[in-house]
């Protein structure tokens, strides 16, 4: 429920009439991954048109705007921006003209050697238009001596490090690629066009497929690049797969904890089922008597259902969320923060008063939001409040494409469990163990594929 923010969502649509419209709906479905800016680039086979702007998808695009983005291929991007970077220059997709023609690029992730690469490019004469590490990739492609765009992309990716899911659009082709670790999700879907021909979509989450009626095929493998071509000819448009890096799977475990929509399939598994299993494991690890289990909406719902099912303690929607609250206050005063929580969340005193309750949430970051939730529940008359978290304590920031606080602001990295409990004001506080989280993910299979869990154990896979 607290301040975790995925930096973006990406989508690519190929060989589909009015591809930009499908990209629009896909971005709408993935709005939760970024609310600061949105953009789409589309190609009609001869030129690429781009529109991007600060704001939500529905604010950035309307029917006249989408009509200008003509063509059978398009890519799109939703962005979550960090402080000081709210400008049109930081929006994606990035568009450029270079020796092979035109190209647009959208990126989900973060390059860990971005500063070194940028410094080298600037020393070689490159001129940057933004602070985005994504712009490094455009320059590397433009400067590459390779003859084809496919080989130039590979050449550029061999020079960067970090986490990325990327979609590239040229005038006639589209490319989709994941880093060798597969840290950020990217799935492939198929679309049947009115004339019976096949179109394709790649997106950060499969909830985008559901909205437009696409069929999920598979996830891109770590280190895999798909090449889409033939949309502007009579040739087969089936994407060609190139394994450009040896796979070293380390998927982002926090996709399951918080980021992804519960109706999505991420890394080959349904998110809702895993979150519910996290609640089941939490109940196995932390048994306690109480009158009811209440989720923090919407982040704790699935886990609370699992906890209730395993423990036998009744599930209640004891807190109601107002979904129409946007930015409210600029001044960072305590009263403003408290009011903002009340605007978003309102407890039902009629069922809470005089009761011992278990509150389920997915994580604690700074602890300030949890503190305010506990406070409003006390004011509603709760007799005892137990806060149970369906993930391990967050002790390390992420450097792979997630906007997280510095380690100095992570309350669990700097305080004991008892100190955190005392700060938030709960009668008890408990977290799911890391082994319990892993059990939740693998409860229905024996395929223990690798995950990056640096936010929970401090073991970074890329330095």
Domain boundaries, the chain: 5-249, 274-444
- Asked if 297 and 319 touch (Cβ cutoff 8 Å), the reply is yes
- Contacts (Cβ under 8 Å, ≥6 apart) of 447: none
pLDDT at 420: 97
Q: How many Cα atoms sit within 13 Å of 157 on the Cβ side?
A: 25
Paired residues of 265 in beta bridges: 270
Question: How many other C-beta atoms are found inside a 10 Å radius of the C-beta of residue 97?
Answer: 11
Q: How far apart are CA 134 and CA 127, in angstroms?
A: 14
Instruction: Please confirm, yes or no, whether 91 is among the known catalytic residues.
Output: no
E strands, 240-286, where? Answer: 240-243, 251-252, 265-266, 269-270
Query: Residue 300 to residues 63, 162, 293, 443: CA-CA distances in angstroms?
Result: 36, 30, 11, 20
Whose tokens are 């303690």? That residue is: 313
Instruction: Name the pTM for this structure.
Output: 0.91
Diameter over CA atoms, the chain:
73
Given 8, 398, 452, 455, which residue is catalytic?
8
Q: How far apart are CA 180 and CA 175, in angstroms?
A: 16
pLDDT at 175: 98
Fold of the domain spanning 5-249: 3.60.20
Paired residues of 384 in beta bridges: 356
- Contacts (Cβ under 8 Å, ≥6 apart) of 195: none
pLDDT at 326: 55
Tokens of 365: 């970051």
pLDDT at 338: 64
Fold of the domain spanning 274-444: Rossmann fold (3.40.50)
**Helix orientation angle between 368-379 and 334-344, rounded to the nearest 10 degrees:** 70
Tokens of 362: 């997915």
- Contacts (Cβ under 8 Å, ≥6 apart) of 377: 318, 319, 347, 352, 357, 359, 385
Burial of 326 (0-12, 13-18, 19+ CB in 10 A): exposed
pLDDT at 462: 78
E strands, 296-421, where? Answer: 319-321, 345-347, 356-361, 384-389, 402-403
Tokens of 344: 């978003």
- Contacts (Cβ under 8 Å, ≥6 apart) of 100: 149, 152, 170
Whose tokens are 């989280």? That residue is: 437
Name the residue among 140, 76, 153, 144 with its Cα closest to residue 108.
Answer: 76
- Contacts (Cβ under 8 Å, ≥6 apart) of 205: 9, 29, 30, 33, 185, 187, 260, 261, 264, 266
One-character DSSP codes across 39-83: EEEEE-SS-EEEEEEES-HHHH--HHHHHHS-SSEEEEEEE-PPT
Q: How far apart are CA 172 and CA 154, in angstroms?
A: 18
pLDDT at 84: 37
Tokens of 401: 């494409």
Tokens of 390: 């369906």
Q: 330-356 burial string, b = 16+ CB within 10 Å, else e?
A: eeeeeeebeebbbebbebeeebbeebb
- Asked if 303 and 358 touch (Cβ cutoff 8 Å), the reply is no
DSSP state letter for 409: G
Peptide bond into 407 cis (omega under 30): no
- Contacts (Cβ under 8 Å, ≥6 apart) of 327: none
pLDDT at 463: 66
- Asked if 394 and 365 touch (Cβ cutoff 8 Å), the reply is yes
Name the residue among 116, 69, 117 with its Cα closest to residue 93.
Answer: 69
- Contacts (Cβ under 8 Å, ≥6 apart) of 440: 256, 274, 275, 277, 278, 280, 281, 432
The pLDDT profile of the chain, 463 residues, written as one tens digit per residue, is 555 555 699 999 999 999 999 999 999 999 999 999 999 999 999 999 999 999 999 999 999 999 999 999 999 999 975 433 567 888 999 999 999 999 999 999 999 999 999 999 999 988 898 889 999 999 999 999 999 999 999 999 999 999 999 999 999 999 999 999 999 999 999 999 999 999 999 999 999 999 999 999 999 999 999 999 998 777 788 999 999 999 999 999 999 999 899 999 999 999 999 999 999 999 999 999 999 999 999 899 999 999 999 999 999 999 999 877 654 433 445 555 567 777 889 999 999 999 999 999 999 989 999 999 999 999 999 999 999 999 999 999 888 877 676 898 899 999 999 999 999 999 999 999 999 999 999 876 655 568 999 999 999 987 6
């Amino acid at each position: 429920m607290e301040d975790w923010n995925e930096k973006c969502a990406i989508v690519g649509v190929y060989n589909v009439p009015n591809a930009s419209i499908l990209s629009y709906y896909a971005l709408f479905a993935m709005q939760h991954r970024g609310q600061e800016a949105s953009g789409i680039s589309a190609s009609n086979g001869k030129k690429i048109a781009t529109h991007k702007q600060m704001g939500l998808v529905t604010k950035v695009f309307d029917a006249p705007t989408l009509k200008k983005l003509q063509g059978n291929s398009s890519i799109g991007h939703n962005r979550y921006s960090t402080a000081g970077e709210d400008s049109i220059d930081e929006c994606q997709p990035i568009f450029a003209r270079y020796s092979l023609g035109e190209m647009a690029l959208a990126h989900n992730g973060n390059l860990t050697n971005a500063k070194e690469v940028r410094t080298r490019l600037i020393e070689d004469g490159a001129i940057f238009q933004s602070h985005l590490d994504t712009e490094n990739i455009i320059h590397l492609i433009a400067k590459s001596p390779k003859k084809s765009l496919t080989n130039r992309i590979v050449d550029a990716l061999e020079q960067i490090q970090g986490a990325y899911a990327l979609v590239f659009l040229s005038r006639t082709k589209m490319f989709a690629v994941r880093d060798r670790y597969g840290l950020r999700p990217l799935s492939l879907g198929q679309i049947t066009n009115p004339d019976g021909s096949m179109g394709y979509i790649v997106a950060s989450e499969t909830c985008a497929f559901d909205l437009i009626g696409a069929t999920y095929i598979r996830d891109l493998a770590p280190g895999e690049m798909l090449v889409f071509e033939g949309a502007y000819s009579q040739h087969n448009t089936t994407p060609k797969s190139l394994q450009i890096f040896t796979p070293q799977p380390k998927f982002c475990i926090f996709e399951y904890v918080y980021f992804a929509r519960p109706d999505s399939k991420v890394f080959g598994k349904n998110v809702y089922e895993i979150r519910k299993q996290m609640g089941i494991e939490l109940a196995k690890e932390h048994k306690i008597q109480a009158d009811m289990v209440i989720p923090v909406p919407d982040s704790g719902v699935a886990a609370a259902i699992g906890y209730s099912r395993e423990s036998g303690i009744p599930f209640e929607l004891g807190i109601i969320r107002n979904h129409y609250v946007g930015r409210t206050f600029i001044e960072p005063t305590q009263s403003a923060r408290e009011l903002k929580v009340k605007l978003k969340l309102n407890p039902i005193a009629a069922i809470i008063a005089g009761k011992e309750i278990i509150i389920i949430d997915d994580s604690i970051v700074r602890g300030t939001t949890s503190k305010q939730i506990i406070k409003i529940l006390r004011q509603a008359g709760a007799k005892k409040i137990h806060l149970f978290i369906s993930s391990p304590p967050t002790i390390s920031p992420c450097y792979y494409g997630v906007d997280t606080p510095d380690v100095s602001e992570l309350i669990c990295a700097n305080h004991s469990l008892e100190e955190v409990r005392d700060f938030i004001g709960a009668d008890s506080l408990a977290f799911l163990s890391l082994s319990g989280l892993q059990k939740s993910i693998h409860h229905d299979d024996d395929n223990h594929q690798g995950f990056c869990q640096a936010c929970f154990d401090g073991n970074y896979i890329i330095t």
